[in-house]
Every structure is written in C-alpha cells, then in structure tokens.
Copies of this chain bind each other. A is one copy, B any other.
Amino acid sequence: MSQIQEIHSKDHVEDSLRQVTDIISRQKLVESLVHKQEGPRHDLVEALVHKQNLVELQKKLDLLHPADVAYILEALPIEDRLLVWELVKADCDGDILLEVSDAVRESLIETMDNRELVAAAASLDTDEIADLAPDLPKDVVQELMKSLDAAKRAQVESSLSYAEDSVGGLMDYDFVTIRADVTLEAALRYLRLMGDLPQHTDKLFVVERNGRLIGTLPLKRMLVHDPEAHVAAVMSDDPVVFHPSDEADDAAQAFERYDLVTAPVVDAKGVLVGRLTVDVMLDFIRAKAEADMLQVAGLREEEDMFSTVWKAAKNRWLWLGINLCTALIASRVVGAFEGSIAQLSALAALMPIVAGMGGNAGSQTLTLVVRGLALNIISKKNANRLMLKELGISVLNGVVWGGIMGVVTYFLYRDLPQALPLALVMTAAMLLNLMLSALAGYWAPNIIVRLGHDPAFGAHVLLTFITDSMGFFIFLSLATVLL
C-alpha cells in the first residue's frame, strides 16, 4: 500500500515555491558567471546548465496542482513568473489562468498568442470559459465560440448574460439528472455506465420529462436505501433552489446557513438550468471579503505585487484624489479661523484631536452598520433604535473622553489666562463632534446603499470628510465665540 502523500497545505506549497525560486536563482548565477567569460565553450556550458535547470524545474511544476502553480506565479517577480509560465503553459494553462488573480492573469495573457489562448480556454468547462472570456481579446473569444458545439456555445452565452455576482454568473452545467419513476438499482446502473461523476456531485437532480425539477437524490441516500426502492420514494422534495438572477451574496449566505455542497438552479418555470457548488461559493466569499478590505483602503482592484510602479499608482489615485479634495475643504474650514488661531496657537495643536476622535468613533459605528446592512439585520423597524443606541454611546464617549481631554487641556495650558474656558471648549467640542460622528457613521452607509452603491468604498470618505470638517468647525467656532 502506498504511503499517504501529505499535501500539507501551506508548508507544501511554500516548499514548492522555495524550490522553484532556488532553481531560478541557481540558473541566474550560472548565467552571470558564464557571461563574464566569452567564447564558444562557455556558450555551450551555459546552454547545457540552462537546459538542465529547466528540466528540473519543469519536473517540479508538473507534479503541482494548478492552484499551487497559480500561487507560485503570484509570488514570483514578473520575469521569473514568465519563465515558469513558459514551462507550464502547454499543459493545464486554462486551469491556472482561472486560479490566478485578475492582475496576474493579465500579465500572463499578454505573453500568449491567439492560438495558445484558444487552446487554453477550449480545455475548460463552459462556465469557466465564461469566467475567463472578459479578460480575453475579442477575436480570441470569437474564435473560441466558433470552435464550440451549439449546446456548449449556448451555455457560455447564457453564463455571460448574467452579472458576475449573480447566481447565473457562478453556476455550472455539470449535473446529473434522473427521472423519479426509476428504481435506485436502475439509477446505479446508469451511473456505472457514465463511468465518472462531475466534481462535487453529492446529489442527483430529479426532473420531469420537460426538465422541471421535482427533487434531489443525495448520493448518501442511494447508498443506504434498498436498491428496489424508487427514486420518488427516496428523493428529497424540498431542496434549496436558486434562480439565475438571485444575488450571489444571498446564495452564499444560504450555502452557509443550510450547509449545502451543491444546489440546483431553476428558471421561472422551475426548469433546471444549472448548478451551484460550494467550492465556487467559497471562492466567492473569500474574493468578496478581500475586495471589501481593499475597497476600504480605496484600492479599486487587487494589485499584482510585482506590477510596475506606474500601474500600481493608477490603481490608487482616484481615492487619493478624492481624499485630497475633502482634506482641502477641511483645510479651508480651518483657514476661516486663522484669525483666532493667530491669537491663540494652542487651538492648532488641539483641533486635530477633536477631528481624529470623531473619525475613529464614527468608523466604529460605520463598520457595525455596514455589517448589519450586509447581513440584512437592519430593517426599518429596528433602524431608529439602532441609531439612538449609537447616539447614546457617543454621548457616553463624549462625556468620558471629552472630560479627560478637558482636564488634560487645562493642565497643558494652565499658564495661559484662557486655560479654563479652553478646557471647557475642548470638552464641549469633543462631545458634539462624537455625537455628529455617530450620526454620520449611521447615515453615510445607509444613504449610499439607498443610492444603490456599495458602502465599502464611499462611506469612509464621506465619514472622514464630515468628522474632519465639522470637528474643526465646531472646535474653532466655539473657541472663537467663547474665548
């Protein structure tokens, strides 16, 4: 009996990465040594060593899962990446292209000619072709579509017609259907004839003659029930089903909630049109979480770690530009009070504290509200209650932190004649700005969602704009009036 081969997740792929980079750097070393001396013999040595290293590298790569090769490609600088890509791309290039991030995929596709791209995509399932199509040159997609038979072409076109974040965009067509009036025995014979079942098949879909779904038959049940029983008697007739137009996010929540592995997708008439699988939902959840994280920092898309400075900078400019504008407006608010600041420069030192605390407290409210909106636990009925709670917390925070800062301010500036009123202004400004931050943290995502946008991107900018500008305004205007 063969020894169990441990794909020890992280360690395994990291080892592979290390070995690959070792081989590459060994080769670079040889190249640099040989280049120092000229002559035909050295060229020969170089060619030999070069070839030997590449053979070793290729052997290594051939043993790896496409997802592991994708990981290695992402972790390699661009020239090493293309070297590795040259070696693997003949085999399972389509699968690897699917696994790498968008930015890295772009860098790989650039190196391939149309013939290679068509060959790569042709080896994929129709739903995968649809995933890849938006990144391919138009003429490649056209050529590819021509090479498919009518049924497959219809599947690709159907997948492409749905939004990327809808159930239709994520479903595949790899399901096995069965009729309700056959016995399990007959069903088993049918499966044996098929020879292999699609990946992740945990259940068969039971359909009528017209394709309408009437139930599902989990493989588990096929195995433990009497082979003489009919499918109709054993099947589950209340499966969780989805529609192609459902939001992928809701489907992901349903997969999580009901612990699904696969689920049928039906059209408006109940006719089976596709299948969702847990691996795709897992990828979707992970990608969504990552996109949210990136969006909060204003990164419009995932960045290739080794992209050029220029390309990376373009990804970040929109956000920095917007923030510069809001900072400029906040700066003009301060500018309006330059007279007061000239008289009492302590104001300049204290004002960032008021604005900063507002921003921090507001982002806590905002994060909870964004989460509540995403999970649909904020409804019209409980919204007011939630807002009042956040306002209550902000009053408590304002009294506590504003009070502390009042005392600190008094001690810092106790030599000034205005020490006491300055301390009171500080306390009052912090209280007011924290209350305003709670309202802004509550309303900013709500308004952005109602306008039909994703709150992850815009809400934070809007919040910071309000807490900064109003923080400065509240503090400086109170100081101007009272001091």
Contacts and interface: CB of A to CB of B under 8 A. Distances in A.
A338 B328 contact: no
Given A202-B202, A345-B341, A401-B320, A67 B258 contact: yes
Instruction: Quickly give the copy total for this chain.
Output: 2
24 contacts: A4-B214, A4-B270, A6-B241, A71-B257, A71-B377, A74-B377, A192-B226, A200-B261, A219-B223, A281-B282, A282-B282, A289-B292, A297-B363, A297-B367, A298-B360, A299-B367, A305-B377, A309-B389, A316-B364, A330-B353, A330-B356, A335-B412, A338-B345, A341-B345
Contacts of A396: 309-310, 313
A234 interface: no
Given A239-B4, A347-B348, A194 B71 contact: no
A41 interface: no
Nearest to A381: B21
Interface in A281-333: 281-283, 285-286, 289-290, 292-294, 296-299, 303, 305-306, 309-310, 312-313, 316-317, 319-320, 323-324, 327-328, 330-332
Given A197-B223, A323-B360, 20 more contacts: A1-B208, A2-B237, A4-B214, A4-B215, A10-B247, A13-B376, A75-B382, A256-B282, A256-B283, A285-B286, A285-B289, A286-B289, A297-B364, A303-B368, A316-B393, A317-B397, A317-B400, A332-B349, A345-B348, A352-B352
A8 B278 CA distance: 17
Contact of A237 (B4, B259, B292, B366): B4
A327 B297 CA distance: 21
A386 B349 CA distance: 36
Interface of A: 1-2, 4-10, 13-14, 17-18, 21, 65, 67-68, 71, 74-77, 180, 188, 191-192, 194-197, 199-202, 208, 213-215, 219-220, 222-226, 232, 237-243, 246-247, 250-251, 253-259, 261, 266, 270, 278-279, 281-283, 285-286, 289-290, 292-294, 296-299, 303, 305-306, 309-310, 312-313, 316-317, 319-320, 323-324, 327-328, 330-332, 334-335, 338-339, 341-342, 345-353, 355-357, 360-361, 363-364, 366-368, 371-372, 375-379, 381-382, 385-386, 389, 392-393, 396-397, 400-401, 404-405, 408, 412, 468, 472
A341 B346 CA distance: 9
A16 to B, nearest CB: 12
A310 B392 CA distance: 9
A418 to B, nearest CB: 14
A397 B320 contact: yes
Contacts of A2: 237-238
Nearest to A226: B192
Nearest to A202: B202
A169 to B, nearest CB: 16
